[in-house]
Structure 1
Amino acid sequence: MNGDGSVKKYALITVSLASFLTPFMGSSINLAVPSIGREFDSGAVLLSWVVSSYILASAAFLLPFGRLADIFGRKKIFVIGLLAFTLFSLLCGLSWSIEALIAFRVLQGIGGAMIFGTAVAILTSVFPPQERGKVLGINVATVYTGLSLGPVLGGAMNQQLGWPSIFYFNAALGLFVVLLTALKLKGEWAGARGEKFDLGGAVLYAAGLVAFMYGFSSLATSTPAKFILAAGLLLIAVFVGHEAREEQPMLDMRLLSKNVPFAFSNLAALINYSATFAVGFLLSLHLQVVMGYSSQTAGLILLFQPVVMALLSPLAGTLSDRIEPRIVASWGMGLTALGLAVFAFLSASTPVWLIVLNLMLLGTGFALFSSPNSNAIMGSVEKKFYGVASSTMGTMRLIGQSVSMAIATLIIDLHIGSAQLSPAIAGLIVTSVKMSFAIFAVTCLGGVFASLARGNVNAGEKA
């Protein structure tokens, strides 16, 4: 169903606004972490869960909601997700304790998963193949705009109006998108109407992922963490076996076992996000607690990375239509590894201009990797698998983000424990930040080989 001009127009507007919301929320809250810590008298580890809980909930529920949307209707799940995201954004702003804030962040993340799992699928349903590349490009641009504006607006709102204002802004924008979708976006799309929902697979997947991530990030402070981690790995293994036997699985395992370019492109995405997502969180701590900058100034400094990404991503995508995506993406991964290695030598006396230059290098690397890698993933599958491919890609991104925050949390936990964020522990923060970046640099270097191993993909062939 391609729909008329009105459906196309409002599908693009609503999906783009929703796609702006989720990355904006993620990048803006990083700047408010020290303020939240002061208000609730919380240590660094609990504060990292303010960021991690949202990503983890989104990752755990993305695939199940993507599948539910295919069966019961993508617009339906999209609107419910927007309503949940809006309501829990408001409640996050009204939180009375750090525990309440983390609980509402989990519920906000579940709403975010409904948006993630349906946004690109709605655009794919509404627009014909010859227009898809352009509209997906616009959608990616709004994601990067959210990432870019997050640190600036988030830092300014946090400083001038207090951290709850970030959540109120998201709630207001979310409500506007809900009303626009309900009133203007006509029609419904369900590619698998009448098929069975694999509830067993959904439970195994969500439980396994949550147990694995929680166990991993709590290894330093909790004795049972290693058992929770092992249980998570076991549940994920059971999930893989279950999906291979299922007639209508949540995730078709043949895509990963028989399609080498698809499998390695997704692995490269997982490694890249695992190595890069915590950069904003770690630098926010370093710039504010160690170097003494305000959240507003720290936001302006962090802005350089997503701006370079937004500017270069369309160019990198076009480049990957002419040159093999694996070549462009692997160069991007290599530049990212170099930038992360530079940050492994960060200290309290590192000049700001060097941090800015290195953020621009990271932005260049990420742009060269991201669009060509997405191009390779979508180009390696048949049309009937577009929804599954985009859901898998989104899942890799969110799992990677969770892993990234889990590594940062684990290292902060080892060095700082439950100590309050203050200049008194600046030395310990510097040590934690440097060690995190060293691990991320090595991880990213390994990702270059995963990126090269995918083989040649003519990304335009199956589109």
Structure 2
Amino acid sequence: MADSCSEKSVFVGEPGERKDVPCTPPDESTTVTTNEGKIKKKPFMWKFRSSKGFIVSVVAMSVFTDNFLYGLAVPVFPFAIEVRAGVAHEDVQKWVSILLGAFGAGLLVSAPIFGWIADRTTGRRMPFVAGLVLLAAATILLCLGNSIALLLVGRVLQGVSAAVVWTVGLAFLVDSVPKEEIGESMGIVAVALSLGILVGPVLGGVVYAKGGYYSVFAMAFVLIGFDIILRLLVIEGQTARNLHMTEANSSAVSATPEPAQEHGHVAAVDVLTPPQPSTRYARFVKRLPPVITLLQHPRLVCALWGTFMQAMLSASFETTIPLFVRNTFGWNSTGAGLIFLPIILPIFGAPLVGKMSDRYGARPCITTGFILAIPFLILLRIVDHKSTNEVVIFCVLLTFVGISLALIVAPVMGEVANAVSDLEEKRPGRFGKGGAIAQAYALSNVAFAVGALGGPLIAGFINTKEGWKTLTLVLAMICAATVIPTYIYTGGRLQKKDIKFWKQQRVTGEDQA
């Protein structure tokens, strides 16, 4: 009977010869052999701490914390910078905008850096924890800061921390979740994102009004403390796989073809594999940074464009809707805040959308989302005066826009990971031992940040120069232009055989009818 080894243990060469990559001795209720060959005691409750559900919960919590703390300060800044930093009343709006932009700048610059670091380190847990340390430092600066300079540094550090969450955190999740469940897991993360965006500003405003400035940050530190405990408890996927005891059998051995090449034993599969070209161009391509290779992959570029689009649409509405409802309906800030509920609430169906994406692919979900958005964006132009019917129509239209965004968010997040997996299958070893998942999510962060920064500028300019009706038409046209590349490249380039298969299925269905 074969020794009990990890799933990567492989038998090669002469009978009885085995390559240990890695293999744990068959002992073993309380100890385990690490990758370095050391015998260590198994961590307490390691199965639960490395379970898919716990890992998804920890990543979702980190996303919630990040967005909650981002939104927590939004209603506080206008008052705090005037009272604490001594900013003149007429300059408050300018500095509030700069502080909000500083977050995006920190995110934009640091995301590629942390993506590269995460793919080069042996594990993702410590960078993940380090991100929360940065968030704690940022929160301390925002809490104690009594000058614009300190507040700016704190806000930039918040953006850097967000970069860690959205690169290392999502890569951490992808490493630990089966490929066929990535969409559903990303849906849960999307719900956490929406909760943070929804709850943060509300609690920030209420607590500031009732308890004052320091009460707001006391709440923030409690949340950070809880989050850091979770991040320290979690056990990442690779460590968990080394802890799991499985018996090697012939079927498992035959399912792992790659070690035959490593030992120089020519297997049948090696004969069928064409030799790699050793041209100067091939060597040049191999030396390119992983990010360049990623950006050459149309499937990933399409996913990045989808990320940019959903960020741009959301940010455009955040910039223009409050002004629109004030001018059209005469609403105050409370109404301007509540009107976003029809857009945000549909995102709570993201786990279901993610599950559909896992089962049927991301293409139908994302394509349907952009197609659905087109007519309802155009129809927003019909709301042009104050009445109960107009308010109802406006809310219904925004609800359908929210549904369209919900169809996009989770599948796009999962598509980033699937695109990298597809590229690694086509070019094995191109990204080295650490892969390129974190760097791909760093690019996704950059796309999101560009959309979040560019959306308000574009929407604000069009709304000011041409009006609300032109703005909604332009947004609809951009969505329409996005449909074609999304349909072609999402899930892998659409092939003629796919269209032929679809036609055959339709003909078969008509014949049966």
Give the alignment's TM-score, normalised by structure 1.
Answer: 0.69
The equivalent of 2:308 in structure 1 is 270
Aligned mate of 1:113, from 163, 179, 182 = 163
The one of 175, 185, 188 aligned to 2:234: 185
Q: Deviations over 1:25-65 (max 9, x none)?
A: 44555556765687642354543333222123112211210
Asked whether the 8 Å contact 2:374–2:477 carries over to 1, the reply is: yes
User: Using the alignment, how far apart are the partners of 2:401 and 2:120 within structure 1?
Assistant: 40
* CA-CA distance at 1:281 after TM superposition: 3.9
Deviation at 1:364, TM superposition (A): 0.5
Q: What do residues 388-445 of structure 1 show as CA deviations (whole Å, max 9, x unaligned)?
A: 4433333322222122134356669x78xxxxxxxxxxxxxxx876665554444333
* Deviates further, 62-71 or 288-297: 288-297
Structure 1 residue 446 corresponds to structure 2 residue 446? no
Unaligned runs of 5+ in 1: 191-243, 416-430
Match of 2:275 in 1: none
Deviations 1:185-227 (A, max 9, x none): 356979xxxxxxxxxxxxxxxxxxxxxxxxxxxxxxxxxxxxx
- Report the CA distance shift for 1:273/1:408 in structure 2 as closer, same or farther (over 3 A): same
Offset at 1:24?
A: 2.8
Q: Is the 8 A contact 1:262 1:380 kept in 2?
A: yes
Tell me the CA shift for residue 451 of structure 1.
1.9
CA 1:177–1:376: 2 relative to 1, 3 Å: closer
Provide closer, same or farther for how the CA distance between residues 289 and 78 of structure 1 changes in structure 2, counting only shifts above 3 A: farther
Matches of residues 75-86 of structure 1 in structure 2 within 5 Å?
A: 75-86=125-136
Aligned-partner Cα distance in 2 for 1:38–1:355: 35
Counterpart position of 1:226: none
Equivalent position of 1:7 in the other structure: 50
The equivalent position to 2:68 in structure 1, one of 19, 24, 29, is: 24
Partner of 1:379: 418
Report the Cα distance in structure 2 between the residues aligned to 1:164 and 1:434, rounded to whole angstroms: 43
3-state secondary structure, aligned to 1:4: helix
Equivalent position to 2:101, from 37, 52, 57:
52
Residue equivalent to 1:240: none
Change (3 A) 1:163 1:358: farther
Q: How does 1:252-401 map to 2 (within 5 A)?
A: 253-257=292-296, 259-286=297-324, 293=331, 295-311=333-349, 313-321=350-358, 323=360, 325-343=362-380, 349=386, 351-382=390-421, 384-401=435-452
- Indicate whether 1:405 and 2:460 are aligned: no
State the SS of the aligned residue for 2:339. Answer: helix
Question: How far is the alpha carbon of 1:246 from its aligned partner?
Answer: 7.7
Counterpart Cα distance in 1 of 2:209 and 2:335: 10
Contact 1:20 1:146 survives alignment (8 Å): yes
Counterparts of 1:439 and 1:49 in 2: how far apart (Å)?
Answer: 27
Please give the secondary structure, in 1, of the residue aligned with 2:420: coil
Deviation at 1:98, TM superposition (A): 5.3
From the superposition, tell whether residues 96 and 343 of structure 1 become closer, same or farther in structure 2 (CA, over 3 Å).
farther
8 Å contact kept, 2:374–2:480: yes
1:381·1:389 contact (CA, 8 Å) conserved in 2? yes
TM-score (norm 2): 0.63
Task: Tell me if the contact between 1:34 and 1:285 (Cα under 8 Å) persists in the aligned partners.
Answer: no
Note the residue ranges of structure 2 that are not aligned, 5 or more in a row.
1-5, 8-45, 240-283, 425-434, 495-513
Contact kept? 1:78, 1:114, Cα under 8 Å: yes
Rounded to whole Å, the distance in 2 between the matches of 1:289 and 1:101 is 32
Q: Does 1:141 align with 2:179?
A: no
Q: Is the 8 A contact 1:148 1:307 kept in 2?
A: no
Q: How far apart are residue 21 of structure 1 and its match?
A: 1.7
Matches within 5 A, 1:170-209: 170-182=220-232, 184-186=233-235
Supply the distance in 1 between the matched residues of 2:100 and 2:111 (Cα, whole angstroms): 17
**1:423 match:** none
Give aligned pairs, total: 386
Selected match of 1:88 from 122, 138, 141 = 138
Q: Percent identity?
A: 22
Q: Deviations over 1:84-127 (max 9, x none)?
A: 11221243244435565344211211122122221122223344
> What is the SS of the residue equivalent to 1:283?
helix
1:77 is displaced (CA, Å) by 1.7
**Cα contact 2:366–2:412 (8 A) shared by 1:** yes
TM-aligned CA deviation for residue 82 of structure 1: 0.7
Q: Distance in 2 between matches of 1:358 and 1:167?
A: 37
State the shift of 1:365 in Å: 0.8
How far apart are 1:270 and its partner, in Å?
A: 1.8
Residue 225 of structure 1 corresponds to none
In 2: Cα distance, 1:339 partner to 1:166 partner: 38
CA distance in 1, matches of 2:229, 2:194: 24
- Structure 1 window deviating more from structure 2 (107-116 vs 129-138): it is 129-138
* Counterpart-to-counterpart distance in 1, 2:447 and 2:174: 20
Residues 48 and 114 of structure 1: is their aligned pair in 2 closer, same or farther, counting only changes over 3 Å? same
CA-to-aligned-CA distance 1:214-249 (integer Å, 9 cap, x gap): xxxxxxxxxxxxxxxxxxxxxxxxxxxxxx868372
1:326–1:373 Cα contact (<8 Å) kept: no
- Secondary structure, counterpart of 1:96 in structure 2: coil
Distance 1:169 1:290 in 2: 37
Letter in 1 for 2:103: Y
Are 2:184 and 2:352, in contact at CA under 8 Å, matched by a contact in 1? Answer: no
Partner Cα separation in structure 1 for residue 396 and residue 72 of structure 2: 21
Instruction: Select the structure that is richer in helix.
Output: 1
Letter in 1 for 2:406: A
User: Bigger radius of gyration, 1 or 2?
Assistant: 2
What SS class does the counterpart of residue 356 from structure 1 fall into? Answer: helix
The 1:111/1:385 distance shift into structure 2, 3 A limit, reads closer
Residue 42 of structure 2 is matched in structure 1 by: none
Is residue 72–residue 201 contact of structure 2 (8 Å, CA) maintained in 1?
Answer: yes
How far apart, CA to CA, are the structure 2 residues paired with 1:97 and 1:376? Answer: 42
Alpha-carbon spacing, 1:188–1:317, altered in 2? closer, same or farther (3 Å): closer
- Distance across 2 between alignment mates of 1:29 and 1:289: 26
Read off the aligned partner of 2:223 and give its amino acid letter. L
Paired residues of 1:74 and 1:188 also in contact (CA < 8 A): no
> For residue 68 of structure 2, what is the amino acid of its counterpart?
F
C-alpha contact (below 8 Å) 1:408/1:436 kept by paired residues:
yes
> 1:241 matched to which residue of 2?
none
Q: Does the 8 Å CA contact 1:155/1:295 hold for their aligned counterparts? A: no
Query: Shift of the alpha carbon at 1:274?
Result: 2.0
Contact 1:155–1:299, Cα closer than 8 Å, also in 2:
no
8 Å CA contact 1:316–1:368 kept in 2: the answer is: yes
Query: In the alignment, residue 365 of structure 1 is paired with which amino acid?
Result: S
Q: CA deviation at 1:10?
A: 5.1
